[in-house]
Structure 1
Amino acid sequence: MASLKEVKDRIDSVKSTKKITSAMKMIATAKLRKSQQAINSFLPYSTKLNEILTNLLASDSSIDSVYAQEREIRKVAIVAFSSNSSLCGGFNANVVKEFSSVVSQCAKIVGKENIVVYPFGKKIADFARKSNFAIERNPEFQQITDRPAFPPILQISKELVDKFLSKEIDQIILVYTHFKSMGVQQIKSNVYLPFDLKGAIEKASNDSATSNINQTTDYILEPEKAELLSHLIPKVLASNLFAALLDSNASENAARSLAMQIATDNAEELVGDLTIEYNKNRQAAITNQLLDIIGGASALSK
């Protein structure tokens, strides 16, 4: 049986931990609110870009683009989003698991030595380094993981697109966590390049079929459609990359908030159990002292 002092020390220790987890939960919740505001602010821009693209594609299914050229895959780049710190439940573990699955599939095609990793977040960078993958090193990767910003993402997207167009990289895959709600985050892996032009055309056709848009509308464009798409598709790609970053950031904060809430609840429950144990031990000590006093008094009376 633990002594009263040991139990009291454990209670104080758990209460101290509870204060820390409670504070971390409040911080994560505040950050999540900002992340959701960022997503809501960026969503109209992203939606409008995709709407313009789908309207153009819906009017002409014969469009081809250098961004959609599929070729023999010899080198693959994987852009993975994790967090810079832990204490966020299974967030990083799920990213690593999906990353490993994607790597395993790509390695069968091109070999591990032909895979380069763009790690957004310290956790995925550490895992890729320990697994001996070629890593694209950029200090901004960790900085914008905690503080998402569009200008550096625009530059990184341009770098990825240039490497694809120069055939230095043949395929680019995104691995990130999609934020659906406070309690639901969905891990995803999407092909970033080559751009799925056929899928976009099919989506545009389906959207047109279920809306009031007339597919036979003849748009007058300046400059011509091919040149317009050559400027529009890179903007859509940068938008998709930034959306993945915002999704990952919101998912991390939601996972951390939930994890810290569970930790706080567990600490509170543990304090309750330890308090009961402390009271039982104290009552037992008092009872033993009374028995000793009564025993001593009985001996004296004899």
Structure 2
Amino acid sequence: MVEYHHKNRYCKAMQRLNHHHLFVFWTFAKTSSFTKTADSLSIAQSAVTSQVKLLEEALRLKLIDRTNPRRPQISEDGRKVLEYADSIFESSRELINWATKGSLSKKRTVRIGAISGLSRNFQFEFIEPLIKEEGVKFDITTGDQENLIQMLSDHRLDVVLSSRNADPDHKIQLHSHVITKSPLLFVIAKNAAPKSKKEITSLLEKHSIFIPGRHFEAKPELDAYLEKFKAVRIAGEVDDVALLRILAMRSGEIVIMPEMGVRNDIESGTVQVLSKLTTIEQRFYAITRQKKEPNPEVKFLIMKMKD
């Protein structure tokens, strides 16, 4: 009798869970806009709000924080529901693919965010294990860290690659995985390099330098180190590692930058290393939503980078 009642309660719960209402909520989560959701689904905005409310009533959960009517936000419970919705609608896509094409495709998409200016070498090394994986593809979105973290929070991304740690005060719990570190180098174009080895102090008397900008995590340590050189002339501070690389190759001046961003040019002989800072380094992060286990593919990529 107890087992019967348990099954009966489960069946009633399943009846209350309207998958169409769940799909409307899932679509809303991608836009954070009732208007855009209505346009996307070709239904009235009033239908969107009413169907989301019906889902909330069925689950007995508050899925959307409507404190600010102009900017409704997904609640903590809403984000948990989205994790289940992602799985449900991924399975639905596989079912439709099997029904229409006669084969069950399990190809998954890893949605990656990368902050603007992030080392291309780092990005490539992260996605490299996926390149020959037939069952997985990847999408990469670039942008500023704040927007990418918001997309991660809204389940529009699976991971954010960054050279900066996640803000600990963010409204949802995030986990920053340190997956690799890169020492800072003093580099210069090969054709502007001294013919014989010289101390960095004497070189700084003849050259201006370009250094990482204010978003560099170890900026205080770098600034303190440079204060030891009386004649140092800072020509510019740059957050974009790709631009620092171009300056290293073309400016004829000294550039301080992570080894990761200029490794290929050192190997090809285009750029020469003048000195290496072993005590100051650039950390690279994979930021995920805080839960017991990240997306399986993301977990695999993080482990590969740490090996």
**TM-score past 0.5 threshold:** no
Higher helix proportion, which one?
Answer: 1
Which structure has more relative contact order (CA 8 Å, sep 6+)? It is 1
Higher strand proportion, which one?
Answer: 2
